[in-house]
Chain A
Amino acid sequence: MVTKKTLSYKETLFEVEAPDIAAKAQAGQFIIVVPHEKGERIPLTICGYDTQKGTVSFAFHEVGKTTKELGCYNEGDCLLNVTGPLGNPSEIKKYGKVLCVGGSIMIAPIILQIKAMKEAGNHVTTVLGARIKEAMILEKEARELSDEVYVATDDGSYGYKGLDFLKELLEKEKFDRCVVMGPVVMMRDVSEITKPYGIPTIITLTPVMIDGMGMCGVCRVTVGGKMLFGCVDGPEFDGHLTDFEELIQRQRQMLPEERLSSLVWETSGGCKCGRNKA
């Protein structure tokens, strides 16, 4: 682990040494991290890579035990295993006008998309969304890279309130492609907004995964009535064809168990660094 950067209270960016992965990584792909012997395999989207240094970066939001635990890792610590790059790279080419919508922690990987889209010669309009003002991350980076930036928060404490303003934006401007990375509910809402305008909308699915290479089938999603695997057929899919309700339901499958795991860990003293005391 080379660098650790705190993005906000519960969001952290890590840069880790993984030369094989760095050499192959492309925007849109993800890695699987196993922190230690007894740990889970968790998928995280690549949000940067440096072929010279042989490093890749990922950012995560502390939601359950494994991500909370990861938050306690520091520079110089080692992870048991990092596998990748997994999933298909994004289709980056010259579309014309591209709308990039990033929400919450997924703002970090969308920065990589913006960069790639810009390099391919697109005009990029970026929309950043967060729950509250304090959770808005990487706004400066997004502003430097994009042609235009809009920000929004759920509670309206910063920028627009919610995503309804997107409709007005779409009335005014014509986009050739829309890329959304964020919480599932946000990706669903954006897909619904762009649909009537016929803008191809690409979302990054985050179904529950285990192996991330097509072995377990837990990541299956229904897209256009067909069963596909999030890890090998995706992670990007057409937002207008995705069965979001099923996805949301499948994501919640193990919630009670995950809560238990988190609770057991916290009550037994968390990671000992004091960051995550119950």
Chain B
Amino acid sequence: MRKQEPKVRAKNFKEVALGYTEEEALEEASRCLTCPKPQCVTGCPVGVPIPEFIKCIKEKKYAEGIATIKTKNALPAVCGRVCPQESQCQSKCVVGKMGDPISIGRLERFLADWERDNGFQLPPKPEPTGKKVAVIGAGPAGLTVAADLVKRGHEVTQFEALHVGGGVLSYGIPEFRLPKAIVQNEVNYVQKLGVELRLGNLIGRTHTIPELMKEGGYDAVFIGSGAGLPQFTGCPGENLGGVYSANEFLIRVNLMKAFAFPDYDTPIRIGKHVVVIGGGNVAMDCARCSMRLGAEVCLVYRRSRDELPARHEEIENAEEEGLVCKFLAAPLEFIGNERGWVKAMKCICMELTEPDARGRRGVKTIPGSEFTMDVDTVIIAIGQTPNPIIGRTTEGLVSDPKRGTICVDEVGKSSLDGVYAGGDVATGAATVISAMGAGKRAAQAMHEYLTNKK
């Protein structure tokens, strides 16, 4: 697929990958064998009918193709861009056994973009069931549940704490990987299906779950509030100026559009030498945003390159754009200048230990290997846990005391009758498509629950 040149894109916030032309899409689609027992589908957490939609592309029936995808996936433009296809559907594709697998994600994106340019069609309105559902959070999990339940005739109200919908898609994943106009478009689609979206509504404060069920008259509730609580290192000096959590940094840059400051009102101060601590997708996004804001960026990760949890495509993209990595190192202390702004970071070198019984390698510090690096901005991207507000205000809701996640069974049922949960809030930080998969299963279970409920 065509991409913006690294030198050019490292200076702008426009989308990196440019998408297929019609010709490219037709050529790629023609490679698909339309397997009778398609393996690719088994790799897809929401079971998109992959060969069917690719067949539509072959026949240039694009409207039908996108409709096929949307029977299972309400957010194709998003998934076509950020799903880790290489480890899901594409890893199972039979063509991949002999050469490159079919680029399923790019074809999905092609159809979604085609639809955006050509206007979308709404499915017919279902018969109302008279049942009311509250969905908490407008991230991928919540949007999926809302769309699935409204299509089955339930009345759905979605409560979102922020002033825009989309969840991490809006506040976390940067513009250059996932344009916000596309996210908004998907959010709008769910609303056009008939879902009422209430922004600026923090459940636990504006309303609590028991209130929704008792006074609000909601028959069931889905919690899709994600994992938004940032983790810190606990090292001294962490509250100095210039030390950001990944969330603060990403919210400022992406949601509040600090990259366009002062046209937009929220600022971000970024120095010349940025250090990002961590190694997942979140760390990569922070690093790439920092580069676009004009900084030199060094990633500090406590394991080695092989253990980096970020998507390969994104690591490559980041390195092409100029990312430098320092592996096997961890921070010990942040040192400030006289004005309370970070000026240096003390680190220690690490080594990998022998694999344990489960084959996982740990890390330990190497005594005496401390070193100091000059930095003026630090971004801490070492993971997030669910926000405790809902747990604190919902009596009887059982959550994992260590990870803060809400305990649910395989269809998303929580310890409370009629209350379901899914996505990052139940699994801990994961992926868009796994959150959607959880949403799908929960929607099905909730539909059954509502249908049986008198």
Report whether chain A binds chain B.
Answer: yes
Which residue of A is nearest B258, CB measured? A257
A24 touches B205 (CB 8 A): yes
- The distance in angstroms between the C-alpha atoms of A42 and B388, with both chains bound, is 22
Which residue among A215, A216, A249, A258 has the maximum number of chain B CB atoms within 10 Å of its CB? Answer: A215
CB distance from A35 to the nearest CB of B (A): 9
Kindly state whether residue A276 has any CB partner on chain B within 8 Å. no
Kindly state whether residue B47 has any CB partner on chain A within 8 Å. no
Q: What does DSSP make chain B's interface, helix, strand, loop or mixed?
A: loop
- The distance in angstroms between the C-alpha atoms of A261 and B387, with both chains bound, is 32
16 A-B pairs with CB atoms under 8 Å apart are A20-B201, A20-B207, A38-B263, A38-B265, A41-B266, A83-B162, A83-B201, A84-B202, A85-B205, A211-B161, A211-B251, A216-B248, A217-B245, A252-B241, A254-B267, A257-B269
User: Which B residues lie within 8 Å of A21 (CB)?
Assistant: 206
| Contacts of B171-192 to chain A: CB distance below 8 A | 171
Kindly state whether residue B262 has any CB partner on chain A within 8 Å. yes
**B interface residues (Cβ-Cβ under 8 A, vs A):** 161-163, 171, 199-202, 205-207, 228-230, 232, 238-239, 241-242, 244-245, 247-248, 251-252, 256-257, 261-269, 339-341, 387-389
Partner of B206, one of A24, A41, A264: A24
A210 touches B266 (CB 8 A): yes
CB distance from A90 to the nearest CB of B (A): 15
Which residue of A is nearest B384, CB measured? A215
- The distance in angstroms between the C-alpha atoms of A256 and B205, with both chains bound, is 34
| Other 16 A-B pairs with CB < 8 A, given A20-B207, A41-B163, A258-B267 | A40-B256, A83-B200, A84-B200, A210-B251, A210-B256, A214-B228, A215-B228, A215-B251, A216-B230, A216-B247, A218-B248, A227-B238, A253-B341, A254-B269, A257-B261, A257-B268
- The distance in angstroms between the C-alpha atoms of A1 and B119, with both chains bound, is 36
Kindly state whether residue A232 has any CB partner on chain B within 8 Å. yes
B248 touches A81 (CB 8 A): no
A261 touches B232 (CB 8 A): no
* Nearest 7 interchain pairs by C-beta: A257-B267, A83-B200, A249-B340, A81-B163, A216-B248, A217-B245, A40-B265
B206 touches A213 (CB 8 A): no
Kindly state whether residue A260 has any CB partner on chain B within 8 Å. yes
Which range contains the number of A residues in contact with the other chain?
Answer: 35 or more
CB distance from B256 to the nearest CB of A (A): 7
CB distance from A231 to the nearest CB of B (A): 10
Partner of A85, one of B161, B206, B241, B265: B206
Which residue of B is nearest A86, CB measured? B205
Which residue of A is nearest B208, CB measured? A24
Which residue of B is nearest A245, CB measured? B340
| Contacts of A195-241 to chain B: CB distance below 8 A | 210-211, 213-218, 220-222, 227, 232
User: Which A residues lie within 8 Å of B387 (CB)?
Assistant: 213-215, 232
- The distance in angstroms between the C-alpha atoms of A20 and B157, with both chains bound, is 14
B163 touches A80 (CB 8 A): yes
Kindly state whether residue A132 has any CB partner on chain B within 8 Å. no
Kindly state whether residue A4 has any CB partner on chain B within 8 Å. no
CB distance from A63 to the nearest CB of B (A): 13
Kindly state whether residue A65 has any CB partner on chain B within 8 Å. yes
B267 touches A215 (CB 8 A): no
- Asked, given contacts A83-B202, A218-B248, A250-B241, whether A232 binds B389 with beta carbons under 8 Å apart, the answer is yes
